[in-house]
Amino acid sequence: MYSFLREGEFIQITIEEKGNVSGFISRFGDTESDKNNFVEQFFETGKLNGNHLTFTTKKVRASSFAFEGTIGRGPGRTEQEEGYYVIQGTLRRVQTGAGNKTAEETRTVEFKSFPRD
């Protein structure tokens, strides 16, 4: 598991055969109807080629995410420390609003692995 955008949010990533990736984002809702409730967005597609990671999520509550970047070792010295692995890259969020108008937000992100028990 990795951190996401805000404290308490996370990404679960599973690397499968042939570089396929599955997982989900668990984040706080940001609309009036789901504010402060968790929203889970499962991956629609995901691929790992070497250290290059891409994924897109299914649309939930008119919002979806797409990521492109890398996964590699971070500053943590052991897997029991935060940041042993780090995902870095570009996260794009697409939201569909009233009248089917879409808005995109793109940002550079870094997600750190949680300590393993």
pLDDT in tens, 48-68: 999 999 999 999 888 999 999
pLDDT at 7 over 80: yes
61-115: pLDDT as tens digits: 889 999 999 999 999 999 999 999 999 999 999 988 778 888 999 999 999 999 9
3-state SS assignment for residue 80: coil
Tokens at 74, concatenated: 């971070």
34-60: average pLDDT? 92
Q: Which CATH superfamily is domain 2-112 in?
A: Avidin-like (2.40.128.30)
Who's near 30: CB < 8 A, 6+ residues apart? Answer: none
The residues spanned by each domain of the chain are 2-112
Q: What is the pTM of this model?
A: 0.89
